Amino acid sequence: MGVVVTVSGSATEKKVEADAEVVPGRRWITAALLLVMILASMETTVTSTAMPTIVGALKGLEHYSWVGSIYLLASTITMPLYGRLSDLLGRKRVLMFSITLFAVGSMLASMSQSMGQLILFRGMQGLGAGGIMPVVLTILGDIFTLKERAAMQAVFSSVWGTAALAGPALGAFLVGTAGAGEHVPAWLKGVLGWRSIFWVNLPTGVVAMVVLAVKYHEKRSQKTKEGKRSETEGGGSQL
């Protein structure tokens, strides 16, 4: 019995590795996934150094803490839901929807006229980020072999540590540059400022979506299999 299990497991592992090795454009896909993961993770900290300026512009000091908290809350709550949806509807469809929602939330947040609007649109960003984080890691498991996954997950996990340092620095740079006085051209001052920490996500998100749309092609058989498994688990949980 032990010999049979070992052989079966080895055969399954070889099949998974073979499937991952034939994924075309894997480098492009990985670069796009890394890009969107950086966006989602950096948004957790980028507002920290910009908040004094934001409060000065929009007022609402009593709602100060909600700007960051609502983002984390929305993303954390929705992660399991997006994981289930990616099994039912497919990884690519759910990820593209999440990136779109995140980008729209970023655009609206950059146009906020009150603290209430900013909190609402930050929540929308969090809803998008809740789909980006788990689905990106799931896709990595689909396109890389078992031996490669550990290294790739380490790279993507390090994004969070980098974002903790780069996010506040980026926020301070964009806000500080806008008020740097005579050393900054007038046209650049109009572009930079606290609003730029949100709309800077738009071009990056669009590039990632284009790359994924062109290079990432999900296998229909895999999507069908995952969907059936989720339906079976869902039925069992209802019983």
pLDDT digits (tens, 9 = 90+) for 139-165: 998 898 888 888 888 888 888 888 878
Q: How deeply is 164 buried, as exposed, middle or buried, from its count of CB atoms within 10 A (0-12, 13-18, 19+)? A: middle
Token reading at 85: 């949806």
Contact, 86 vs 141, CB < 8 A?
A: no
pLDDT at 224: 47
Distance CA 128, CA 98 (A): 4
Contact, 128 vs 98, CB < 8 A?
A: yes
From residue 37, how far is each of 124, 127, 142, 148 by CA, in Å?
A: 16, 14, 17, 19
pLDDT at 19 over 60: no
> In this predicted model, which residue has the larger pLDDT, 17 or 50?
50
pLDDT at 8: 43
pLDDT at 44: 83
Q: What is the pLDDT of residues 167-205, one digit of tens each?
A: 888 888 888 765 555 555 555 555 678 888 898 888 889
Q: Where are the domains of the chain?
A: 37-229
> In this predicted model, which residue has the larger pLDDT, 189 or 68?
68
Q: What percent of the chain has pLDDT over 90?
A: 38
Distance CA 30, CA 210 (A): 13
How confident is the prediction for the chain on average, in pLDDT?
Answer: 80
Contacts for 186 with CB less than 8 Å, ≥ 6 apart: none
Q: How many residues does the chain have?
A: 239
Other beta carbons within 10 angstroms of residue 181's beta carbon come to 6
DSSP 218: -
Distance CA 175, CA 183 (A): 14
Token reading at 117: 């609007």
CATH number of the structural domain 37-229? 1.20.1250.20
pLDDT at 45 over 70: yes
Q: What is the pLDDT of residues 115-146, one digit of tens each?
A: 999 999 999 999 999 999 899 999 998 898 88
